[in-house]
Every structure is written in structure tokens, then in C-alpha cells.
Amino acid sequence: MEIKVNNLSSTYANQNIFKNICTKFEDHTINFIIGLNRHLFLKILSGDYLEYSGNIAMDNLQIDKESSSETLYKWKKNVGYVSMINTNITVKKLILSNLDKYGYNKDHDKHLNDALKMVHLDKCYLDNYLEELSSGEKKLALMASVLAYNPKIILIDENMLSLDFGHKTNLIKIIRILKNRFHKTIIILSNDTNLIHKLADFIYVIEKNDTIQKFDKYALFTDEKKVKKYHLEVPKVINFSNLVLKNKNVKLGFRDDINDLLKDIYRYAKKW
């Protein structure tokens, strides 16, 4: 589902954070947000923070400062927000509380199992308390608790994807499946440019309090001026291509992953 931000202005601790921001996230895409005050931006999208003027809209639903609790409930049912929480309950209770809240009263066991299966967590985790889990497992459990009630738009907070190699590879697959098979719109905060390069359709940079820019990932990471301006770490694959161009004057294409890069090197090295 498409999500639109119309004329958003907000203050936080007596400061102008956003001023007349307008932007749009397209239907079934994976989007990353980087830049200033992105946490607050995501919180506003989630419906948790309401101190703003302007509105946020999807299909036939719209929220703003004056929205009724009923509208907000509908919004939150459609917009899942994955973020750290500090309560110490069992994984089962965590997922069940979301299921109950958003009207899934039947077949609890099935929903529980499906949610855990999505994130590749074993059933035996259900009775574990969140605090007993490692940070990675906790993040997966929180992800499962949101996927359980099947929201159309999924917001993922910073660092929820900073996981070890195995779990990260899994989550990347899951996020792609969510987009391709279930047509979700996904919005992620992350500063891991290697991850962004792998996964993003679009990158939104909040530049100043009144500007939000939308980029295609190649357009952003291959533009040296922009990379410098936004203090970005160049993804490894692109960095390597840049070094080859600089040192050997060989122009490799900008590739998505290491296997593509390999083919390209093979092609160009032979020519050489």
C-alpha cells in the first residue's frame, strides 16, 4: 500500500524538526530512510507520535493530530512498527498480545507458528522471556510479533537488522519475500550501507528540516559528492569498482553483489 506524507511540520523539545515535508512511499517497495531526525519521522509514520501539523495518508485512511482513537487503531493495524521494547514477557505473550489487540481471536496456535516460522525461530522459544534471549533472537521475536497480525506496511527501526551473518541473510530473504509475494511496503532505518545496497529499491535522505530527497540506490552511492555530503560509507562492491577505476582506469559496472562483481572482473580482466 502506498503511504503519503502531506505538509508535515513538527516540533520537538521546542525546536522545528520538520517543516512542510511532502513525500510518498510507493506500493510494494523496500525503502530506507537516512539522515536527520529519522527516528522521529518513523515514529510519526507509525502513529505513535502525534505532535505535528499536516497529515499522513494511505488509501482511504488518514491520520493527523486530531485523529480519533478509532482511526489510530485502524492505522496501527495496517502499519506494523518493529522496534525495541523494554518489557520482560515471554515470546508467546508478546505475540499473543498483538494478536488479541488486532482482532485475531481464533487459531492462536496457527498464527503463533506461522509468525515464528517466518523469522526462522524455533517453537521452543515461545516460553522464553525476552530478557533471556540474545540480542539477535530478541530482534527476531519482535519482528515475529509484528508479522503475526499481518500489517500492510512494515516499519523497521534502526539496528533491528544489525544481526550476525546467518540471521541477517535470513532476514534479507524474509524482507524480499514480504515485498515480492505478500506485496508489503517496507520502510527501514539503517546506517548499514552494505545492507541498503543489497536490499533497497529507494533511499530517502532527510537533508534539512524541510527537504527529503528520494534516490535510486545507484544514483546515491556512485555519486561521490553526495556520499561525502551525507557522510555515507560506500558499499564494499561499489568501493571496489571505484578503486579499480582509479588505479587501473578500468570501468566496471556497478553491481549488486559479489557474484556480479566477479563476472565483471572476469570479463574486463581478460580483455586487458
Per-residue DSSP letters for the chain? --EEEEEEEEEETTEEEEEEEEEEE-TT-EEEEEETTHHHHHHHHHTS---EEEEEEETTEEE-TT--HHHHHHHHHHEEEE-------BHHHHHHHHHHHTT--S-HHHHHHHHHHHTT--GGGGGSBGGGS-HHHHHHHHHHHHHTT--SEEEE-TTTT---HHHHHHHHHHHHHHHHTT--EEEEE---HHHHHHH-SEEEEEEETTEEEEEEHHHHHT-HHHHHHTTPPPPHHHHHHHHHHHHH-------SSHHHHHHHHHHHHHH-
205 binding another protein? (CB under 8 A): no
236 counts as binding another protein under rule CB under 8 A: yes
Task: Out of 182, 243, 253, 267, point to the residue binding another protein (CB under 8 A).
Answer: 243
191 contacts another protein (rule: CB under 8 A):
yes
159 interacts with another protein by CB under 8 A:
yes
Q: Does 166 bind another protein (CB under 8 A)?
A: yes
By CB under 8 A, is residue 162 in contact with another protein? yes
Shortest CB 155 distance to another protein, Å = 18
Compare residues 181 and 231 and give the one whose CB is closer to another protein: 231
Binding of another protein by 1 (CB under 8 A): no
Chain residues binding another protein by CB under 8 A are 13, 15, 128, 132-137, 158-159, 162-167, 191-193, 231-233, 236-237, 239-240, 243-244, 247-248, 250, 258, 261-262, 265-266, 269, 272
